[in-house]
Structure 1
């Protein structure tokens, strides 16, 4: 059993849901979250934003799933990310679950 955690900007909500379904993961939860990025260390020329502290409307998905399904999801998420022209990506973390009931 694996714990799957996905974060993405709100714009990718439908895409993440499609990837979950395509991977055979039909049971999951998700919630709104605030993404945060501190750009104070970046040079002025590389910082596209007007301020140094940036927040974005994001989502976090999570689910318990079999290894085969999480492996598929990781593959599909990477394929999705490779086609994106923006800096924002779907971020996937897969953790081992030692015990659950």
Structure 2
């Protein structure tokens, strides 16, 4: 089993929902987050959160699912970001984590 995490700014939340529906993810959760940068240089999440004190309203999506299905979602997110172009300020971020044990 895998844990899929997707981070998106509020403006792209509907697009993420469509990706999850297109890839037939039957159940997922989402929650609002308010992100801030605390340092100037953050290479893994560059341009993710605002530079000022106001922050950015974002969404965090997550689901537990089988590896093959989740991989399709990752591919779809990658395609989405490519289609948006290189000048995209806040790309959608997706992470896949192994679930070692569940009770």
TM-score by length of 2: 0.80
Q: Which runs of 5+ in 1 are unaligned?
A: 42-50
Q: Distance in 1 between the 2:79 and 2:6 partners? A: 15
Q: Secondary structure at the match of 2:72?
A: helix
1:83: how far off? Answer: 1.5
In the alignment, which residue of structure 1 is the partner of 2:3?
Answer: 3
- Aligned residue pairs total 92
Q: CA RMSD of the aligned region, Å?
A: 1.8
Highest CA radius of gyration, 1 or 2?
Answer: 1
What is the TM-score with the length of structure 1 in the denominator?
A: 0.81
| CA distance in 2 between partners of 1:52 and 1:99 (Å) | 40
Partner of 2:45: none
> Quick one: distance in 2 between partners of 1:4 and 1:16?
12
Looking at secondary structure, tell me which structure has more strand per residue.
Answer: 1
